[in-house]
């Protein structure tokens, strides 16, 4: 077996986040439907649209690398999304549901922020400036979404849950 290099790890992680984003696209409409707060619902709907653009950017990175876009099962995101699903089931019709949904969404955002930050750094190290720029755009969106979720949680949904 040949020694694995950073470019192998880079491609493997790219496949991981591609899979994750596609799973997130499936989960966001369910989260929006479950949310009782109009602001939270609108945030999930807006992030769904953003995520579609993020998937397109990932496909562009695959193209830059001369690879076919392909995902690799991401157990981490499946676990995080399962937690969100459990919250939707266990707290249905509860005043705490929206607080739980916001927290679950932030767990997703934090995973994505970690992945995109790493991919951006590796892309720079490997000389893939265009890919690094694309990751940087997505990273900024994920950080902005995390900030919006924090503001919404502290100003609306956590108060309602209490």
Single pTM value for the model = 0.94
Domains and CATH numbers, the chain: 6-161 (1.20.1260.10)
For residues 122 and 6, the answer to whether their CB atoms sit within 8 Å is yes
What are the Cα distances from residue 31, in Å, to 35, 67, 117? 6, 32, 25
Show the tokens assigned to 38: 């109009």
- Residue 80 phi/psi, 5-degree rounding, is -65, -45
Q: What are the pLDDT digits (tens) for 4-31? A: 899 999 999 999 999 999 999 999 999 9
Alpha carbon distances (Å) from 59 to 18, 67, 130, 135, 148: 8, 9, 13, 12, 26
Using one digit for the tens of pLDDT, what is the confidence trace for 17-70?
999 999 999 999 999 999 999 999 999 999 999 999 999 999 999 999 999 999
């Amino acid at each position: 077996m040949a020694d694995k290099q950073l470019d192998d790890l880079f491609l493997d992680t790219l496949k991981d986040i591609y899979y994750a984003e596609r799973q997130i696209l499936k989960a966001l409409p369910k989260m929006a439907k479950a949310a009782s707060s109009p602001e939270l619902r609108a945030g999930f709907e807006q992030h769904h649209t953003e995520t579609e653009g993020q998937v397109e950017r990932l496909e562009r990175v695959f193209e830059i690398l001369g690879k076919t876009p392909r995902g690799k099962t991401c157990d981490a995101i499946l676990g995080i999304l399962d937690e969100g699903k459990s919250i939707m089931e266990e707290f249905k019709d509860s005043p705490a549901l929206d607080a739980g949904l916001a927290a679950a969404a932030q767990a997703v955002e934090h995973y994505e922020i970690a992945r995109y930050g790493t991919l951006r750094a590796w892309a720079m190290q490997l000389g893939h400036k265009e890919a690094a720029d694309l990751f940087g755009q997505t990273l900024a969106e994920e950080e902005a979404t995390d900030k919006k979720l924090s503001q919404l949680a502290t100003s609306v949904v956590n108060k309602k849950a209490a």
